[in-house]
């Protein structure tokens, strides 16, 4: 099951597009497109045999309880803030961005009160 999710996310997860297609909602981290989808903007590393390079990517999908979900269904923009380099929180959820392995960057969502 997880391998199917990984394949799906690998194919659909990264949205690298022009910055002008997104409106900054909060702190140059959370963006919205013209269809009201919410994206988390992150810098990712693209590694090849010849070199490694940093790219800006916009993520609108995440993993919550082994399901692929849209960020717009979870993020509360008003209470959302960054707590560490790749960790974020709002009033209900914790969001962890993981760029490793760099072939499969992803966002995991956890309930704030989850132990």
Per-residue pLDDT of the chain (115 residues; tens, 9 = 90+): 656 555 544 544 444 444 568 999 999 999 999 999 999 999 887 777 777 778 889 999 999 999 999 999 999 999 999 999 999 999 999 999 998 776 678 999 999 986 5
Cβ(53)–Cβ(46) below 8 Å: yes
pLDDT at residue 4, rounded to an integer: 53
Contacting residues for 93 by C-beta, under 8 A, at least 6 apart: 74, 75, 109, 110, 111, 112
Domain ranges for the chain, please list them: 2-111
pLDDT at residue 99, rounded to an integer: 83
Cα 40 versus chain centre, distance: 5
């Amino acid at each position: 099951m997880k391998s199917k999710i990984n394949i799906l996310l690998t194919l659909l997860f990264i949205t690298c597009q022009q910055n002008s297609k997104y409106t900054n909602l909060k702190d140059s981290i959370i963006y919205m497109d013209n269809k009201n989808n919410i994206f988390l903007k992150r810098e990712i590393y693209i590694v090849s045999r010849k070199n490694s390079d940093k790219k800006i990517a916009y993520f609108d999908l995440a993993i919550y309880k082994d399901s692929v979900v849209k960020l717009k269904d979870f993020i509360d923009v008003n209470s959302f803030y960054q707590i560490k380099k790749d960790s974020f929180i709002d009033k209900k959820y914790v969001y962890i961005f993981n760029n490793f392995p760099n072939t499969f960057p992803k966002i995991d969502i956890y309930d704030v009160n989850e132990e």
